[in-house]
Structure 1
Amino acid sequence: MRHTFTLSLFIFFLLASFQFSMAQDFNSVMTSAEYVFNQDKIPCVTPAQREAIKTETQNNIKQLKQENKLAFKESNRLGGHPLFIWPLQQAAGFNYNNTWAISGYVDHNANYPNQLTDYNCGTRTYDSASGYNHQGVDMYLWPFIWKQMDDSQTEIIAAAPGQIIAKHDGEFDRSCNFNNNIWNAVYIQHNDGSIAWYGHMKNGSVTTKNVGDMVSLGEVIGTVGSSGNSTGPHLHFEIYTNSSYSQLIDPFSGTCNGMNTDSWWNTQIPYNYSGINAVLTHSAEPVVFPACPTPETPNISNSFETDDTIYFATYLRDQVAGDNIHLSIIKPDNTILYDWNITASTTSSSWYYYWYYSGVFDQEGEWKWQVSYGGDTITHTFQVGALSIEEETMETTSLYPNPATESVTIKTPRNLQSASIYDVSGKLIKNIFFTDNVTYTIDLSNMAKGMYFLTVVSSENDQERFKLIKK
């Protein structure tokens, strides 16, 4: 599947007066773009794959029952269905406000093609000319979807407690189109007999627990990937009332949901869950839309000199035409450099804006880039000129030996939380999480010779990047 975007560069003149006698044409330096996930409406699962999944789970349930290991009992149905928590969470060590958006709900219109009805009587779903009607909820990563996947930034968690009745791992996870491949997935049966499918997981991330093992509410069972029929990293979440698969469930309650009368969510999010996923500063234009499946180059930076050009970006989900977005750039002395509003002109599940400025950063210290939208107000801090105490301390971090052969040790006065190694193309090679806060030695024995980049993250979430040579 292709990922496409509609790029619109808004240029017109609008003079605004400020109490500090400064005027700025904000639109002349603004770029905005829409990200469209699964534009080609690729089915997540083929009919043959769906039947194979049903057969496998039914056979496993039968086997567990024969071994007296099946947790579900018919009498449990009287207790009612589960109430799901959201099946995605941001992994520790990352600080986006949110990491996902919804591209497609369950299609309640059995006709096709392009005859669409979601639970809210809208058309945020899809079907195909072959007769496929979308049967789950698709939650895709946003922003920097491939980098998020490579960094294992978004985890898939059990939306309800239950028993693993099937799982699959080991499949290619960088799919960009329809390919007829099998996905990596986990299938969980709940106390009432209902079954949830969690599909498209990242290769190697699927839980090590076995069929028949229990999972608790919120337990990590994998990370988001793009395995199987997929056009990018996302979770396909599909639910049935029982193992006969006679009744599909749409977990969202709404006027046009003819499958079930009530919500299966503990707290149902709004149909348009408008808000901010990230507010970031960049040293150059962020590369948001490389060719699939190339990881993005975010060019994220939080440290600048006074004469640098700084890019100010915000990444939104469920933008609705007519919505107001308020933006501010605040100096270290808490006076305002710029403060302005824009009105969204397009409704989209994901959209981003950025502005760039230079020659206006007249104070050294900690600046703030603040965005308010959809009930979220996110403040991102960045440094101009003199380093903060934290950054000065972080700069005392070093690697030895470098070049290295079998291992490298990080020398630092800080408590480190994690480290990540990337190759020169930006592909994540290794994630390391530190627990003892004493020694920070990383095994390089399984890595090929060459140049890499090592990013370390302190317990205060400060980051530093180093060039690493493996001999």
Structure 2
Amino acid sequence: MKTINTLSLFILFGMIATKSVGTDFNSKSGNNATEYAPSENSATSPCITEKEYSLLESRILENKKLLQSKNINLSNSSNSITLLNWPLRPSPDLTDCSYYHISAYVDQNTTSGLVQDYNCGSNTYDGHRGTDISIWPFNFYKMDNNLVEVIAAAPGIIIDKHDGEFDRNCAATTVSANYVLIQHADGSYALYWHMKNGSITTKAIGQSVIAGEYLGVVGSSGSSSGPHLHFEVWSGSTVATRVDPYYGTCNSLNASSWWTSQKPYKETGILKASVHTTDAVFPACPATETSNESTSFQIPFQGPGLSPGYAKFYAFLRNEVSGLNATLTILNPNGSSYLTWSYTSANDAKVRAWAWSKVLPTNPGTYTFRVVYNGVTCSSDFEITTSTGILSNGNSKDLKIYSSSSNRKTIFELKNSSIQQIELFNLLGEKVNHVNINERKAELNSPTSTGIYFYRLIDDKQLIYTGKLFLE
């Protein structure tokens, strides 16, 4: 389970491992941040070329003429500006706390070579006419698994759409994107660009959609440097009528916001908090990332490239701000702190990932990794247990567990004569019983409550083996 208390191509990406000082990020120890700037769309590789804009305008005229010949009403039915909802949503299978960041706003400065966004900043590129909403982290993994959907920001009629184009582009291309273009009741248009091949809505040109209706999946088709949605709004049927849905001091295109609820210029916070068996792998575009994330760890645990008993704890940040502090905590099953540490941002970044090597708990139970940054809380649960060689009911060639209903005893029969202690824990990680043994058979008083419990066997070398059983 993952939770968030408050509420994306990317610029900077860095990691840190804090078990001990070192310089090799991929080693089991290290205290080194690695940052890089991947390619982004730019004035020389724009999301949409002038030729494509011209083609879009022509298709609008042709399609409207065809639809009108079929008596489909395309006349403006509203004098009010269409207000827009957020054009993305996570699929039910996505458990991240958030999934996007703004990689480029509309360029308000019409002078070639100069840029300015609506907030008088520079988060745009020369000539950019839409808003680029990038998905992150693990953007190609999210695309491959349909984890971020494109939805209609407002009700309207599909005026144009296109599908079937390659969707793993990493740079400028002359091939079109997969897209949907919708006309609203006030005569304005919304363009949804770069979508995944084969994901476009099956609705036909001329059919209506409602706000929030599925249109496709975020992809990297057309001239794209990675999976993102290029969302563009026009007040009329030509690109010359473009508007910026965000309102701010430096918006010279329109006098008010077109959003039903405008998001902040920077949403500083946490996209994801997760626990990993080893370092996540971020290959070059367009290869799919390998997260190595896990929600279950068997004790004793050995992660590739890590010291015995250690795992990697990741915090994926959005709009990181220099000087801000993050508090990171591993919580015991009962809610108390197992381990807490902190981190201070050294500089600003659109997105950045940090990873720490930390020793895992050894008591069985469900633990929580929690990150608090800029007042935003993001958390994920993970389980400590092991059932290697032991079935869920406790029976295997090395161990048999059964209950005696006559005297409410739980009986352990052990093949390994070196086991010296048996401990029993509930789901909160609380020890409910234990016994010291010197034979291969031991009896524990069964708990009064039925349900799932964890047992822990400790041998003469203090090695620990754990498992799960159900007591009736």
Instruction: Give 1:45's aligned residue.
Output: 48
Pair 9,93 (structure 1): closer, same or farther in 2 beyond 3 Å: closer
Aligned pairs for 1:209-228 (under 5 A) are 209-228=203-222
In the alignment, the residues of structure 1 paired with residue 299 and residue 251 of structure 2 have an alpha-carbon distance, to the nearest angstrom, of: 55
185, 190, 194: which is aligned to 2:188?
A: 194
1:378 maps to what in 2? 378
Query: Structure 2: which 5+ residue stretches go unaligned?
Result: 1-8, 22-28, 302-309, 394-472
Report if the CA contact (8 A) 1:165-1:189 is conserved. Answer: yes
Counterpart AA for 1:154:
V
Q: Is the 8 A contact 2:12 2:352 kept in 1?
A: no
Q: Which residue of structure 2 aligns with residue 19 of structure 1?
A: none
Match of 2:74 in 1: 71
Q: Distance in 2 between matches of 1:11 and 1:331?
A: 21
The offset of 1:11, in angstroms, is 7.0
- Tell me by how many angstroms 1:181 deviates: 0.9
**Percent of aligned positions with the same letter in both sequences?**
38
What is the one-letter code of the residue matched to 1:126?
Y
* Aligned pairs for 1:46-445 within 5 A: 46-73=49-76, 76-78=77-79, 80-113=80-113, 115-127=114-126, 133-287=127-281, 289-308=282-301, 309-358=310-359, 361-385=361-385
Report deviation, 1:171: 0.4
CA distance in 2, matches of 1:8, 1:330: 23
C-alpha deviation, 1:162, in angstroms: 0.3
Please give the alpha-carbon distance, in whole angstroms, between the structure 1 residues aligned to 2:293 and 2:221. Answer: 28
Given that 1:32 and 1:351 are in contact with CA atoms closer than 8 Å, whether structure 2 keeps it comes out as no
Displacement, 1:154?
Answer: 0.2
Contact 1:3 1:292 (C-alpha < 8 Å) held by counterparts: no
Q: Offset of 1:36 from its aligned partner? A: 4.4
Name the amino acid aligned to 1:173: D
CA shift, 1:12, in A, is: 10
Amino acid at match of 1:304: F
Contact 1:172 1:228 in 2 (8 A): yes
Deviation sequence 1:374-425 (CA, Å, 0-9, x none): 33212211011257xxx959xxxxxxxxxxxxxxxxxxxxxxxxxxxxxxxx
* 2:17 and 2:355 in contact (8 A); partners too: no
Whether the 8 Å CA contact 1:84–1:264 is kept in 2: the answer is yes
Tell which structure's C-alpha radius of gyration is larger.
2
Deviations 1:295-338 (A, max 9, x none): 00100111112332211111111112222211101223433222
CA gap of 1:108–1:294, structure 2 versus 1, over 3 A, is same
Shift of 1:361: 1.8
**Match for residue 468 of structure 1?**
none
After TM superposition, the structure 1 stretch with the greater mean CA deviation from structure 2, 169-178 or 362-371, is 362-371
Query: How high is the TM-score relative to the length of structure 1?
Result: 0.73
State the AA in 2 paired with 1:268.
Q
Structural RMSD (CA): 2.3
User: Is the 2:297–2:385 contact (alpha carbons within 8 Å) kept by the matching residues of 1?
Assistant: yes
Deviates more, 1:235-244 or 1:373-382: 373-382
Whichever residue aligns with residue 60 of structure 1, its letter is N
User: Are the structure 2 counterparts of residues 303 and 6 from structure 1 closer, same or farther at C-alpha, using a change threshold of 3 Å?
Assistant: closer
Aligned residues of 2:12 and 2:351 also touching (Cα < 8 A):
no
Structure 1 residues 384 and 30 mapped into 2: Cα distance closer, same or farther (>3 Å)?
Answer: farther
Any gaps of 5 or more consecutive residues in structure 1?
15-27, 128-132, 394-471
- 2-side partners of 1:139 and 1:121: how far apart? 19
**CA shift for structure 1 position 155:** 0.1
CA contact (8 A) 2:155 2:209 kept: yes
- Number of aligned residues: 365
Q: Tell me the distance in 1 between the aligned counterparts of 2:49 and 2:17.
A: 41
